[in-house]
Amino acid sequence: MTNGERAQASIEAVEQQILASCRGQPTISAAGIVHLRSMLTGHADEIRSAKAGDSTLRAAASRSSAAVAAHLADIVCPILLSRFATLLPISDGIGIPRAADEAAAADYADALASVFAWEGAVGPDSRLRGAIQGRLSSVTRSCRARIESHLDVTSDDDFPDVRLLARDILRIEAVEWAVEIAGGPSHAAELRHLAHHAARQAIQWSGRVFERFRAGPDEFTHFDAVATLSAVDDLLVVILRVLESDRDDRAAGSHPFVLTLGEQALQDFGSGLEQMTRRYLAIVDVHLLADGPSGDFVLSVLQLLQRVLRLGHALLRSVDVLEIHLNHVSAQQRMTAFRAVLRKATAGAGAPREYTARLTVLEAALAEVGA
């Protein structure tokens, strides 16, 4: 057997393995993904070598590339694209649930990247890359629609649920990572921008919630403030994404003496938080030892201030906003003073149980921040 015949036989052997793959199966295992990627890499290497050979070998290479491309387009790529999109945290379609031994979305993304690379190296045309880019565009549109459903408010008095928005921002980040692996850097950049825009919008709305309570404290504005601060971890997710957008803007060359959109949003948030906190602290100052409805409201305010203290403590590690720093220091000092008043009021026998409940909240809040 001549060298040319051996090379042709090697091409045909790898080709037959690829043509036998993924037939009659709706999903692929993680091991199957690894094997598919290995076969595509091996086939591309064989085809590149063959194209440097004689006319017979070049003809065999062209025939094999066309056969493999047809199989990838008809059998393999539809499975990869369907399962990749279905298993993403935000999907553009509905498919069967993931089996225990099935590959994960990131594995399918790796396989799509291998298909993309194979076609770019030795494929006869660009139909596979076109199909991949088309599905990535569809996934991106689904993510945009999800975020826009949160941001589609009908009036200035209507605010999105920051908790749900924060969770979808995290989901979009996971999609962004998988999309970039699959060969969609432009789609990934669009998703990153979308997450940053949503985070900035959420922070701006949160600041407006705080400002609205300061301007007109009543049961409705208090409820909105409580809802906004009810999930500190979700607020932190949003704020950290705003910081990330700042870094991107600075890296892109934004003017060093002009605030980025994220920095402006954080400043507005910090100012609104500080003004609202000051109003709540004033309420506690007057009604700390009250009974009846005023006393019940004070307990609710103390629970909200506990969240404010927790949020400020977490932000001090990463956010350089003066209003947030000063608000945290002031709130901690005032709440320490309230604790001292309640400790004194509950020291003797017969102290009202309401005082003990308020003191318990203050003790827990200050312990969380090491005070």
More confident of the two residues 90 and 153? 90
Q: Residue 93 is encoded by which pair of tokens?
A: 């379609």
Would the pLDDT of 254 be above 70?
no
Would the pLDDT of 259 be above 60?
no
User: What does the pLDDT read at residue 317?
Assistant: 74
Region 2-13 average pLDDT: 83
User: What does the pLDDT read at residue 65?
Assistant: 93
Model confidence pLDDT, tens digit, residues 121-139: 988 889 999 999 999 999 9
Percentage, residues of the chain above pLDDT 70: 92
User: What does the pLDDT read at residue 81?
Assistant: 94
Residues 343, 355: Cα–Cα separation, whole Å: 9
User: What does the pLDDT read at residue 294?
Assistant: 86
User: What does the pLDDT read at residue 94?
Assistant: 73
pLDDT band at 315 (very low <50, low <70, confident <90, very high): confident
Region 61-76 average pLDDT: 94
Instruction: Out of 59-63, 149-153, 299-303, 344-348, pick the least confident.
Output: 149-153
Region 23-42 average pLDDT: 93
Phi-psi region of 96 (alpha: psi -120 to 50; beta: other; left: phi over 0): beta
Region 24-49 average pLDDT: 93
User: What does the pLDDT read at residue 1?
Assistant: 64
pLDDT band at 53 (very low <50, low <70, confident <90, very high): confident
User: What does the pLDDT read at residue 170?
Assistant: 87
User: What does the pLDDT read at residue 255?
Assistant: 53
User: What does the pLDDT read at residue 237?
Assistant: 77
- Residue 129 is which amino acid? R
Residues sharing a CB contact under 8 Å with residue 156, sequence separation 6 or more, in sequence order: 208
User: What does the pLDDT read at residue 205?
Assistant: 81
Region 235-255 average pLDDT: 69
Model confidence pLDDT, tens digit, residues 332-349: 999 999 999 999 988 877
Residues 128, 72: Cα–Cα separation, whole Å: 8
pLDDT band at 141 (very low <50, low <70, confident <90, very high): very high
Model confidence pLDDT, tens digit, residues 264-294: 777 778 888 888 888 889 999 999 988 888 8
User: What does the pLDDT read at residue 151?
Assistant: 79
More confident of the two residues 68 and 257? 68
Give start and end residues of each alpha helix (H) in 183-218.
185-215
User: What does the pLDDT read at residue 157?
Assistant: 63
Contacts 24+ apart (CB under 8 A), 69-75: 69/119, 69/123, 69/124, 69/125, 69/127, 69/128, 71/18, 71/19, 71/21, 72/18, 72/115, 72/118, 72/119, 72/128, 73/127, 73/128, 73/131, 75/21, 75/22, 75/23
User: What does the pLDDT read at residue 262?
Assistant: 67
